[in-house]
Chain A
Amino acid sequence: MASRVLLQCVRSLGRPSLRLSAANLAVRATAAPAAARRPLSFAADSRRPRWLGQSSIPSVGVLCRQYGDLPPLTLETIKDRVMYVLKLYDKINPEKLQTSSHFMKDLGLDSLDQVEIIMAMEDEFGFEIPDAEAEKLMSPGEIVQYIADKKDVYE
């Protein structure tokens, strides 16, 4: 019975005009909770034909819970975030940065800088990259591929 009242509340919220909902509330208030189901069900039956012509009810959107979670990762977003972090790094010239530019050969960085870059990626994406795999990542494209593999992102 409580769920039926709740659904009626939701339906009344979804309707464009609220005049009838005030009447609904009055009807519900008068029908005491201890009263039998019959008054409410009759009222619902009488209201139902009127509601059939209404616009679609956004009940699912109102009744579902929102869980806190990060937006889903795609290859595009990973690539954008990786390039953004790299552009912020002071030793890299942003104009010369491409997805395929090698850190040591094209951008002139050394292995200590590469360690710093991988640490920055760990901070950005929130998971640890072990040493053995970190030292092999020598270009932004490889970093994107590795993160996509680890996070099960595929297109």
Chain B
Amino acid sequence: MTISRLPTAALSLKQFLQRQRILGIYRNMLRTIRQVPSEGDRKYLRDWARDEFKRNKSATNPDAIRMMVSQANNHLEELQKSLALARS
């Protein structure tokens, strides 16, 4: 159940939706990272997000994938909360 290497015709509906969800999380993460004030931090966070997503790109165990997705969501929420605090 790789995220991207299989052609989309070979994915089942659930896998397709999961893939779209993960790409959405990656996009939201990049958009949130854009709001970080310092350029050095931004670059570090972008590289970190890129590495994390790419490292787990070829995971096949559905439970592991679900756990990673929820972990990514937690990271994203944490980042958004810290940014909101920093801004206020």
Chain A positions near chain B (C-beta within 8 angstroms): 104, 110-112, 115-116, 119, 123, 131, 134-135
Contact = CB atoms under 8 A, between A and B. Distances in A.
Given A104-B4, A112-B4, A131-B23, 12 more contacts: A110-B3, A110-B4, A111-B19, A111-B23, A112-B3, A112-B54, A112-B57, A115-B23, A115-B27, A116-B30, A119-B30, A134-B27
A22 to B, nearest CB: 55
A119 B27 CA distance: 8
Chain B interface bracket (under 10, 10 to 19, 20 to 34, 35 or more): 10 to 19
20 contacts: A104-B4, A110-B3, A110-B4, A110-B57, A111-B3, A111-B4, A111-B19, A111-B23, A112-B4, A112-B50, A112-B54, A112-B57, A115-B26, A115-B27, A116-B50, A119-B27, A119-B30, A119-B34, A131-B23, A131-B24
A112 to B, nearest CB: 6
Contacts of A111: 3-4, 19, 23
Interface string B5-42: 10000000000000110011011001100100000000
In the A-B complex, list the 3 residue pairs whose CB atoms are closest, starting with the nearest.
Answer: A111-B4, A110-B4, A119-B30
Interface of B: 3-5, 19-20, 23-24, 26-27, 30-31, 34, 50, 53-54, 57
Contacts of A131: 23-24, 27
Contacts of A104: 4
A137 to B, nearest CB: 13
Contacts of B24: 131
DSSP majority for the A interface?
A: helix
A135 B4 CA distance: 12
A92 to B, nearest CB: 15
A112 B23 contact: yes
Contacts of B4: 104, 110-112
Given A119-B30, A131-B27, A134-B27, A112 B20 contact: no
